[in-house]
A and B are shown apart, each in its own frame.
Chain A
Amino acid sequence: MSRTWVTPGGVHPPENKHQSLTQPIGQLPIPAKLVIPLSQHIGAPATPCVEIGQQVLKGQVIAQATGMVSIPMHAPSSGTISAIEHRPIAHASGMLAPCIEITTDGADTWIEHQGISDYEHIAPRKLIEIVGNAGISGMGGAGFPAAVKLNPGRQRPIHTLIINATECEPYITADDSAIRERADEIVQGIKILSAILDHPHNIMIGIEDNKPEAIAALAPHVEGSGISVVVFPTKYPSGGEKQLIYILTGKELPVGKLPADEGMVCINIGTTYAIKRAVIDGEPLISRVTTVTGDAVGTPRNYDTLIGTPVSHLLEHNQFNEQAGGRVVMGGPMMGFTLPSADVPVVKTTNCILAPSYAEIPDDEPAQPCIRCGMCAEACPVSLLPQQLFWYAQAEEHDRLEAHNLFDCIECGACSYVCPSNIPLVQYYRAAKGDIRQARDEKVKSDHARERFEFHKERIEQAEREKEAKRAARREATQQAKADHAAAAANGSAAPATSSASPSSSTADIIAAAQARAAAKQASPEDQRAKLERTIASAEQRLQMAEEKLAEAVNSDSGKQDKLSAAVENTRQKLEQSKSKLAELAE
């Protein structure tokens, strides 16, 4: 038995897991339409590679990965592409996003595919390619592309592989039931992961002690494999990556570091099953286990659900009673978000559809004042002071919020759960984080604008100084001329012609100078080309920098991806403009 460590805080909400575990994982009839969002993961959305009206087979690629941090999408069943357009998706904002709709033909005809059985003799790079091409992203939480996580191009070797089977959220039993029924394939998946990561000497499956059946199911398969099943007491939120790493290793992930920086990789247990299917069976990720539960559905249970299945399809097959409850949650009761409607599709991260009755989850009562009782601080798993964060979030004191480590909040909801005054604390933190990010972006922008303005002012002043110098020179010349003239006049009527000739000659000078300036502006083609080449060189450099920044932002999930990718696009366009101009010039 491995030693485990205890995280601070945490709560014990009613588990409510038994309801959905009375039946084995079920199958639903293939829905008439499947809607596959192009962005189901962290990173760039996939790029469609099919056309409306095109026939597709089950497992066929319908959208390609866009760049490094992205995943491809596959047809979950055979049929016809019937739409490529914006649709409502599972997102807290209720926003629309590009999706591909497949009208299924019911035949469920697979595309030709082949797996590899002796993965031990395949180069890790090749295995990672298979995982990437299978469209696998993390299936537990955020949906980070698995291939990027497994990328061996890092400096430090991986010594610890952690398989996250915690499933600490109440109600959800997708991983639990998958382990019970598919333990052998899951362990095969872990062995593939081990091969990819060059056999880390420490491989642990972290699981809470409320899943004895799953623990028993894993036992025979891990025997003698070097994989240890580490069981620890149930407490929410033990399944957060940072929390699990601490529970299993006693080490905290330093701020701003990824597990890989510390020689660790943490993978959800559902993802290991997908990896097994991808490598051994050659099947891309087109379905997942999803729990359908809550008292507003007739038969809570788990389903092997095709990606893209509308939530309404799941609910209808479960005798959903719309009158019984007010909300439908994707995910669990602690971190899940409410769906705007049942039209949204199941995606690769959808572990649960929770339709609670009013009795289970009543409508929120109005918030009472915060009395700073500190129950939230006792519950916080990362040792924050939620009551202070709430105070400063209301006052919009950004410096104080950052000093109180607002950005270390994992939004687990333990504070709101225990709050006796019923304050939606997490919502305040989300809003405050958004405000601070926006303020940071605006500061960058305003700094740019200020620099530009100061440069502009400097340039105007410079021009003014030059003009003033010229004026002074002219004045001096005029006075000189006058003096000369006076002197000449004094010297008698020696040269009367000069007085009339000098103004005309100065006019001629001015015209000549103007012509020379115009000529200079119309620079020679060589000059123009040189200038364009310089522009292109610097644009290329900018593009490269912008792309690096984007990759960094994607890795650290700083919420700036959209802006940065727009910046990359902008720079790319400018570069292309310059290139086409250069081409014109060459002709």
Chain B
Amino acid sequence: MAFKQVSSPHAHAAQNTSQVMKLVLLATIPGLAALTWQFGWGSFINVVLASVTAVCCEAAIVKMRGRSISFYLGDYSAVVTAVLLGLALPPLAPWWVVVVGTVFSIVVAKQLYGGLGYNPFNPAMVGYVVLLISFPIQMTTWVAPLALLPAGTAHPGLMESLQIVFGGYSPADGITGATPLDAFKHSTGLLVDQVYDREPLFNQAMFAGAGWEWVNLGFLLGGIILLSQRIFTWHGPVGMLGALALMSIIFWDSGSSSSPGSPLMHLFSGASMMGAFFILTDPVSSAVSNRGRLIFGVLIGVLVYVIRAWGNYPDAVAFAVLLANFAAPFIDNYTLPRTYGHTDRRKATEKEED
């Protein structure tokens, strides 16, 4: 009798990478639902269009590299990148914006670096930043939230939305508008309370910004689901949200005309929750250890606030994440856990004594 030779361990837990990715996709549903409810079909179209583009790009590159297409598409990582990019892009953006961003994300930011697991930067955020810098007008045109639509109008239906996206039709007047972070940034010379009184984005809102607070709550819910499934640990999201909250408390300046905004607005506007639970938790491009991920999260939280408050862009999650991606290998060198039987943590750069 001769038996198969296999190295230990022989038992394996049932979970695999494609299941992890599928769970992440499922967890985006509350956020996507909130976006669709508050801003119409645009985000849904973005997500579908980006996914189709991503799968085609991934398949083409994998084929060029002479690898098994079904094996590499089966990990769903391209779809996750596409869905996150689609959620981040403005609803009703022209189709070519979505396609260019997705191609850049998958081909350049992911596959040219070696594919899944080898990309130093978050591919979705690379795609987003490329678009933001290249097409600022398209990228800063947001649809107005449900509460702010002119009386008697509604968001375009699915067919009309498709025509806007693919046919280049302009949406009806009053359908587009500023985002809360945008509006707040441009309301100079007013006290925070005055801004909240005058600006419909705020006076129509519960606590942070009309429509946007629902979207952020949706992503928060999805994030909590992923946390409870142990897809990631709490360190990154808590680090980012904690730092963002702390910064906005420190610089709150009791609501003066130079105040960069309240903690609630920062936590529940823009891409805060999506960034905290779906972007910086991308394990490939983040720091590795739990301590490292906490620092990584804090760094992103601080950068987001700094750019929002004193930078040129109203939102900053993409830039902050990319900057932190740069720092991740450095953070990793100094955040090794203390191993059993050792008195101290070691540095990754330590050399054995000769």
**Are A and B subunits of one complex?**
yes
**Which residues of A come within 8 Å of B, CB atoms?**
11, 13-14, 92, 94, 170, 242, 246, 252-255, 257, 312, 322, 326-329, 331, 333-343, 354, 356, 361, 363-366, 368-375, 377-378, 381-385, 387-388, 399-400, 402-405, 408, 411, 413-414, 416-422, 424, 426-427, 430
Partner of A372, one of B71, B283, B343: B283
Contact indicator B341/A242 (Cβ below 8 Å): yes
Residues of B within 8 A of A333 (CB): 8-11
Min distance, Cβ B334 to any Cβ of chain A, angstroms: 11
Min distance, Cβ A341 to any Cβ of chain B, angstroms: 5
Residues of B within 8 A of A375 (CB): 15, 230
User: How far is A408 from B345 in the complex, measured between Cα atoms in Å?
Assistant: 13
Is B336 in contact with chain A by the CB < 8 A criterion? yes
Contact indicator A387/B9 (Cβ below 8 Å): no
Partner of A255, one of B15, B118, B341: B341
Is B288 in contact with chain A by the CB < 8 A criterion? yes
User: How far is A14 from B20 in the complex, measured between Cα atoms in Å?
Assistant: 21
User: How far is A418 from B19 in the complex, measured between Cα atoms in Å?
Assistant: 13
User: How far is A422 from B11 in the complex, measured between Cα atoms in Å?
Assistant: 11
Min distance, Cβ B288 to any Cβ of chain A, angstroms: 6
Contact indicator B288/A253 (Cβ below 8 Å): no
The number of chain B residues with a CB under 8 A from chain A is: 52
Question: Which stretch of B33-41, B47-55, B346-354 is in the interface?
Answer: B346-354
Contact indicator B6/A364 (Cβ below 8 Å): yes
Known A-B contacts A328-B3, A421-B16; the reply to A369 vs B117 at CB < 8 A is: yes
What residue of chain B has the Cβ atom nearest to residue A407's Cβ?
B339
Residues of A within 8 A of B17 (CB): 368, 371, 373, 420-421
User: How far is A64 from B17 in the complex, measured between Cα atoms in Å?
Assistant: 53
Contact indicator B13/A242 (Cβ below 8 Å): no
Min distance, Cβ A93 to any Cβ of chain B, angstroms: 10
5 interchain residue pairs of minimum CB distance: A413-B9, A369-B117, A382-B340, A333-B11, A403-B350
What residue of chain A has the Cβ atom nearest to residue B77's Cβ?
A371
Is B233 in contact with chain A by the CB < 8 A criterion? yes
Known A-B contacts A356-B10, A416-B9; the reply to A341 vs B340 at CB < 8 A is: no
Residues of B within 8 A of A336 (CB): 8, 10
Min distance, Cβ A458 to any Cβ of chain B, angstroms: 23
Query: Which residues of B, 288-304, contact A by the 8 Å Cβ criterion?
Result: 288-290, 293
8 A-B residue pairs with Cβ-Cβ distance under 8 Å, sorted by A, are A363-B4, A373-B17, A402-B350, A403-B350, A408-B342, A417-B9, A417-B13, A419-B12
Known A-B contacts A371-B117, A404-B348; the reply to A361 vs B11 at CB < 8 A is: yes
What residue of chain A has the Cβ atom nearest to residue B68's Cβ?
A366
Contact indicator A11/B3 (Cβ below 8 Å): no
Min distance, Cβ A14 to any Cβ of chain B, angstroms: 8
Contact indicator B117/A372 (Cβ below 8 Å): yes
Is B5 in contact with chain A by the CB < 8 A criterion? yes
User: How far is A185 from B174 in the complex, measured between Cα atoms in Å?
Assistant: 88
Residues of B within 8 A of A403 (CB): 336, 346-351
Residues of A within 8 A of B251 (CB): none
Residues of B within 8 A of A340 (CB): 2-3, 5
Residues of A within 8 A of B230 (CB): 375, 378
Is B182 in contact with chain A by the CB < 8 A criterion? no
**Which residues of B come within 8 Å of A, CB atoms?**
1-13, 15-17, 19-20, 71, 75, 77, 115-118, 230-233, 283-284, 286, 288-290, 293, 332, 336-343, 346-352
Min distance, Cβ A51 to any Cβ of chain B, angstroms: 31
In addition to A254-B341, A334-B11, A374-B293, 4 A-B residue pairs with Cβ atoms within 8 Å of each other are A340-B2, A371-B283, A372-B284, A403-B347
User: How far is A364 from B341 in the complex, measured between Cα atoms in Å?
Assistant: 33
Contact indicator B3/A341 (Cβ below 8 Å): yes
What residue of chain B has the Cβ atom nearest to residue A94's Cβ?
B5
Contact indicator A374/B233 (Cβ below 8 Å): yes
User: How far is A47 from B315 in the complex, measured between Cα atoms in Å?
Assistant: 77
Min distance, Cβ B234 to any Cβ of chain A, angstroms: 12
Known A-B contacts A340-B3, A400-B348, A403-B351; the reply to A252 vs B9 at CB < 8 A is: no
What residue of chain A has the Cβ atom nearest to residue B16's Cβ?
A420
Residues of A within 8 A of B286 (CB): 372
Residues of B within 8 A of A427 (CB): 7
Residues of A within 8 A of B338 (CB): 383
Min distance, Cβ B277 to any Cβ of chain A, angstroms: 15
User: How far is A384 from B343 in the complex, measured between Cα atoms in Å?
Assistant: 14
What residue of chain A has the Cβ atom nearest to residue B20's Cβ?
A420
Min distance, Cβ B8 to any Cβ of chain A, angstroms: 5
Contact indicator A417/B117 (Cβ below 8 Å): no
State the majority secondary structure of interface residues on A.
loop
Partner of A416, one of B12, B75, B342, B343: B12
Min distance, Cβ A246 to any Cβ of chain B, angstroms: 7
Known A-B contacts A366-B71, A372-B284; the reply to A399 vs B340 at CB < 8 A is: no
Contact indicator B9/A335 (Cβ below 8 Å): yes
Contact indicator B346/A382 (Cβ below 8 Å): no
User: How far is A411 from B338 in the complex, measured between Cα atoms in Å?
Assistant: 18
What residue of chain A has the Cβ atom nearest to residue B5's Cβ?
A338
Partner of A385, one of B118, B289, B340: B289
- Greatest chain B CB density within 10 A among A170, A366, A372, A419 is at A372
Residues of B within 8 A of A411 (CB): 8
Partner of B283, one of A365, A373, A388: A373
Contact indicator B232/A374 (Cβ below 8 Å): yes
Contact indicator B332/A388 (Cβ below 8 Å): yes
Known A-B contacts A372-B284, A404-B336, A421-B17; the reply to A338 vs B352 at CB < 8 A is: no
Residues of B within 8 A of A399 (CB): 350-352
Partner of A430, one of B7, B283, B332: B7
Residues of A within 8 A of B19 (CB): 420
Contact indicator B283/A374 (Cβ below 8 Å): yes
Min distance, Cβ B303 to any Cβ of chain A, angstroms: 22
Contact indicator A417/B7 (Cβ below 8 Å): no
Residues of B within 8 A of A341 (CB): 1-3
Known A-B contacts A312-B1, A383-B339, A405-B339; the reply to A11 vs B13 at CB < 8 A is: yes
Known A-B contacts A371-B116, A373-B20, A383-B337; the reply to A339 vs B3 at CB < 8 A is: yes
Min distance, Cβ A440 to any Cβ of chain B, angstroms: 9
Partner of A405, one of B1, B13, B118, B346: B346
- Greatest chain B CB density within 10 A among A329, A333, A369, A399 is at A369
Min distance, Cβ B269 to any Cβ of chain A, angstroms: 29
What residue of chain A has the Cβ atom nearest to residue B118's Cβ?
A369
